């Protein structure tokens, strides 16, 4: 890394990984989110890292949000991802079968390459924990950072925009 800003960005990315299974509704009470906000806030104070703040301080309400205008307003997840989407005579709900939480995926090069080639990650025992193979029984809406990462990994580029427009 050739700058303090880049190092600060990596610190934020590592914190996102550590916090990926915390539900967005628990951000204001989860200790790990407080820790993340505190360390990222320290990086904002020491570097030119541009994290969203509330009154100049990174808080559990602003941590991991985008820095563009409007990103800090409203719930963490776009409400467009909770609406049913009309598709002709059908209605498509946006619940999905999430990857298992508290599980480490893509921990070696072979698994990374497999995912880069469009395959789903597998668990340590070889199970496929997603919509392909062995899905979880309960569907739900996006509630965690891991869920968001799963969504953007398998969505089609135009899908979110099309659904919002419908």
pLDDT at position 132 over 50: no
Place of tokens 């030119």: 48
Q: Within 10 A of 75 (CB to CB), how many other CB atoms are there?
A: 10
pTM: 0.80
pLDDT at residue 69, rounded to an integer? 85
Mean pLDDT score of the chain, rounded to an integer? 85
Considering only residues 151 and 29, tell me which one the structure prediction assigns the higher pLDDT.
29
Higher pLDDT, 19 or 93: 19
CB neighbour list of residue 52: distance below 8 Å, 6 or more residues apart: 58, 62, 63, 65, 66, 67, 71, 72
What are the backbone angles phi and psi of residue 87, rounded to the nearest 5°? -130, 85
In which band, very low, low, confident or very high, does the pLDDT at 128 lie, cut at 50, 70 and 90? Answer: low
The predicted structure's pLDDT at residue 6: 93
């Amino acid at each position: 890394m050739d700058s303090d800003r880049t190092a600060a960005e990596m610190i934020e990315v590592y914190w996102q990984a550590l916090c990926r299974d915390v539900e967005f509704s628990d951000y204001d009470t989860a200790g790990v989110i407080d820790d993340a906000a505190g360390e990222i806030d320290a990086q904002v104070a020491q570097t030119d890292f541009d994290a969203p703040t509330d009154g100049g301080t990174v808080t559990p309400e602003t941590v991991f949000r985008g820095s563009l205008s409007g990103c800090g307003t409203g719930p963490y997840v776009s409400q467009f991802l909770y609406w049913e989407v009309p598709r002709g005579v059908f209605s498509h709900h946006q619940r999905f079968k999430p990857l298992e939480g508290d599980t480490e995926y893509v921990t070696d090069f072979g698994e990374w390459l497999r995912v880069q080639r469009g395959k789903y990650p597998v668990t340590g025992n070889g199970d496929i924990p997603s919509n392909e193979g062995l899905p979880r029984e309960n569907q739900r809406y996006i509630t965690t950072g891991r869920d968001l990462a799963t969504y953007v990994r398998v969505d089609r580029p135009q899908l979110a925009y099309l659904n919002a427009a419908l």
